[in-house]
Amino acid sequence: MTTERYWRLKEAGLCACCGEKEPVSGRVYCQSCLDWERLQSRSRRRVYAEIGICTTCGKAAPEKGRKTCRTCINKRIARYGEKRRSAAAAEKAAG
Ligand SMILES: [Zn+2]
Ligand SMILES: [Zn+2]
């Protein structure tokens, strides 16, 4: 959203997001845009979990018993290392 568009819509008394509806009093966005924004920011992960898609990327189907997809799990492993890898390695060495 450009600042110019924002101010023009605000001046016109229209929602600065969709530019179609009247904004909620004291706000620059209309009710539906506020709802959407809240959904996007706050409960996005919960919505993703509910509809059965990866809560990280929101694109792929999650792995069985997980909330994230294989790609996101792999990314996470690559970044943080496998969970308890050192413990498993120690066990292997002992046994
Ligand atoms: Zn709107
Ligand atoms: Zn994912």
Tens-place pLDDT, residues 28-58? 899 998 888 777 766 778 878 888 999 888 8
Nearest ligand to the CA of 32 is: 1
What are the Cα distances from residue 35, in Å, to 11, 19, 32, 43? 22, 15, 5, 11
Residue 24 Cα to ligand 1 midpoint, Å, equals 9
Cα 45 to Cα 84: distance, rounded to the nearest angstrom: 26
User: How far, in Å, from the CA of 80 to the mean position of ligand 2?
Assistant: 16
Contact residues for 21 (Cβ-Cβ < 8 A; gap 6+): 14, 15, 30, 31, 32, 33
Q: Looking at the CA of 63, which ligand is closest?
A: 2
Q: Could you tell me the distance, in angstroms and rounded to a whole number, from the CA of residue 67 to the centre of ligand 2?
A: 9
Is pLDDT of 3 > 90?
A: no
Please state the domain extents for the chain: 3-94
Q: How far is the CA of 23 from the centre of ligand 1 (A)?
A: 7
C-beta of residue 69 within 8 angstroms of C-beta of residue 63: yes
- C-beta of residue 14 within 8 angstroms of C-beta of residue 22: yes
What CA–CA distance (Å, rounded) separates 78 from 68? 15
pLDDT at 95 over 60: no
In the predicted structure, residue 81 carries a pLDDT above the cut 60:
yes
Q: pTM for the whole thing?
A: 0.43
